[in-house]
Amino acid sequence: MALVTVNRLCKEYSGHVGLAVNNVSFTVTDGEFMVLLGPSGCGKTSVLRMIAGLERITSGDLLLNGRRINDVPAKDRDMAMVFQSYALYPHMDVYSNLAFGLRRRGIPKDEIDRRVMTAAGKLAIAPYLTRRPAALSGGQRQRVALGRAIVREPQVFLFDEPLSNLDAVVRLTTRNEIIKQQKELGTTTIYVTHDQVEAMTMGHRICIMNQGEVVQIGHPLDVYRNPTDVFVARFLGNPRMNLFKAHVTHESGDLVLHFAGNNLKLPPQDQPGLDKYTGCPVLAGVRPEDFYEIEPAALQGRLARLPAEVIAVELLGAEALLRLVLPNSEEEAVARVGRDTKLRTGDTVMIGVDISALHLFDSSTNKAIPCFNRS
């Protein structure tokens, strides 16, 4: 069992103004795969290195199974870390790289051999045990680095952007391998990445960070569907969410959302939460997949049609991206539509938008307005 509790963790680096990590708190339950996600410089790697014992904690508490381990040396924390740079010994063959940490801990030779061969078999690197790292591909080296963590049989796995040096195809296969191994082993895992695809596909939960602070924690789809603020809304999703300046008015007993030169009557069930925003500026968010060139049968009567000009069409094979200009909008919008679209640059279109999929944000705070039910 391994329960990791991070409580109000802070990190201040000498010579830097302010905190690199500011009051970060979260709990990773036994066997959970938690992803720390955020842009470069948001503090996620600093949090991971404090958990690993590679950076001193400025303030706050780090607990493993309820025991405070702030001052426990890294070697005694029973955690295994996989680095972005692989950190393999170039003068050792694969077998020796896998066995090195076990030998230093005085594990019997027979047990070392069992663990190494088991991990090598699971990771499909058994044929390469006599090779040195220089003779391996990037994906094979990363599997060796993963194997070195697995053979330790730790309580916690820590991953620091382990796939960022791999090309797209190898990154996909290695990502799937990590998911498979974590599921089979059931080891508590904390994984740092700036890649939202990795976060969405790998994590049981994701913890999104920005400027040293935790912004939102939740299951990947919950966070995607219900972002807590504009940062999360635009950081998750590729292409990112479209945002429009808007305002809300009362008209004939209904609430109407005005944006990009259009007036959209909001569903009655969503109106109570918006009452206090009547007459106030808000931000209206539409994800690219919530625009429609052709109205699906399942959304009959739920789409509003907005006039738009097509300024570019990106044909991606399985789908197409339309870059649009809507009336009175300061920035272009992106719509994800079917690959068979006949629209081309310069065309005008009445693009459909799913009203129930709209996201609204308070313009003054950038926080989400909780008026839409997307559970």
Over 165-202, what HEC string results? CCCHHHHHHHHHHHHHHHHHHCCEEEEEECCHHHHHHH
Cα–Cα distance for residue pair 190/9, rounded to 1 Å: 16
pLDDT at 166: 84
Dist. CA 345–CA 316, nearest whole Å: 15
In this prediction, residue 356 carries a pLDDT of 84
Helix, coil or strand: residue 32: coil
Residue 232, both tokens: 């999360």
Is residue 246 within 8 Å of residue 258, measured between CB atoms?
A: yes
| Domains with residue ranges and CATH for the chain | 4-231 (3.40.50.300), 242-362 (2.40.50.140)
For residue 122, what pLDDT is reported? 87
- How far apart CA 171 and CA 113 sit, in angstroms, is 29
The one-letter code for the residue type at 277 is: Y
Q: What is the mean pLDDT of each run of 10 residues along the chain (375 residues)?
A: 95 89 98 96 96 97 97 94 88 95 92 94 92 92 92 95 86 89 93 95 97 97 95 94 91 82 76 76 94 86 88 94 88 92 94 90 91 60
Q: What is the DSSP string of 339-362?
A: TT----TT-EEEEEEEGGG-EEEE
Predicted TM-score of the model (pTM) = 0.91
> For position 269, what pLDDT does the model report?
59
pLDDT of residue 279: 83
